[in-house]
Amino acid sequence: MIHSIDPIFISIGKFHIYWYGIMYLIAFISAWHIGNIYIKKDIICISKDQFSDLIFYCFLGVLFGGRFGYCLFYKLQTTFENPLSLFYIWEGGMSFHGGFLGVIISIIYFCRKYSINFFQISDFITALTPIGLFTGRIGNFINAELWGKPSEFFWSVIFPRVDNLPRHPTQLYEAFLEGLILFAILNILLIKKAKTITVTSFFLIFYSIFRFLVEFFRVPDAHIGYVAFSWVTMGQILCLPMFFLGIYFLMIKRR
């Protein structure tokens, strides 16, 4: 396949709406719809109004956390030299790990506001998170960004913006693993009412494993490259604390 997808969804004069933004919108609408189904079936014991607040807080956490995380994890020197670049959202750049921290802060605020157990809500939200991971990676693919290393597999994709080499479509690898597979694992656990903290633990563990593996096929950010041993990427390093935190939570559950 030769990538030729236009990243612009629609243009109104000089104003453009991009597919990447549409993917975020689809993710939150889908999460809101599925979340309300779970509320109706008493899989999670919060009201629809509370869930609307929770989705809004998480949206802010993803937006600000994702942007700040990208600037701090991937463009630290540039951010120190020009702190205002944090707000240059038109230049692009979002970090999952930053958005993850933003969502944690949002859940903490929500739980304190309504006096609800943190892990009950984190289990609920992490079960919905793969929806955003799936649509976000599809958005990356449409934008022809975060491409993979050269490949000879028949499903390889040529990204003309990069070069004429067939490459691993690592965006689609992540959409499949972190989106579809992870969604299936977590939602089976949630529907079967696994013990509190289990869903959160499995999210941390499996996301870290899937992301760590895909990073071997993905070209690292050009301005960072490999950060250790000529093969370790920043994404892999950021996955390690998530993985061990998930293991720690499983140990807490066993106790």
Residue 221 falls inside a structural domain: yes
- Mean pLDDT computed over 137-163: 94
Radius of gyration from C-alpha coordinates of the chain? 19
How far is it, in rounded angstroms, from Cα 128 to Cα 244? 22
The C-alpha angle 216, 143, 10, rounded to 5 degrees, equals 160
Consecutive H or E run containing 106: helix 96-114
Domain containing 138 equals 8-254
On whether residue 1 sits in a domain, the answer given is no
Domain assignment present for 2: no
Has residue 183 been placed in a domain? yes
Write down the pLDDT at residue 46: 93
Q: How confident is the model at residue 92 (pLDDT cuts 50, 70, 90)?
A: low
Q: Is the pLDDT of residue 141 over 90?
A: yes
Per-residue pLDDT at 84 exceeds 80 = no
Q: Is residue 36 part of a domain?
A: yes
Which residue, among 97, 104, 134, has the nearest Cα to 212 in the 3D structure? 97
In a domain, 46, yes or no: yes
**Residue 149: inside a domain:** yes
50: in domain: yes
Strand partners, 237: none
96-133 per-position pLDDT tens digit? 888 899 999 999 999 999 999 999 999 999 999 999 99
Domains held by the chain: number: 1
Contact 29/165 with Cβ under 8 angstroms?
no
| Backbone dihedral region for residue 229 (phi beyond 0: left; psi -120 to 50: alpha; all else: beta) | left
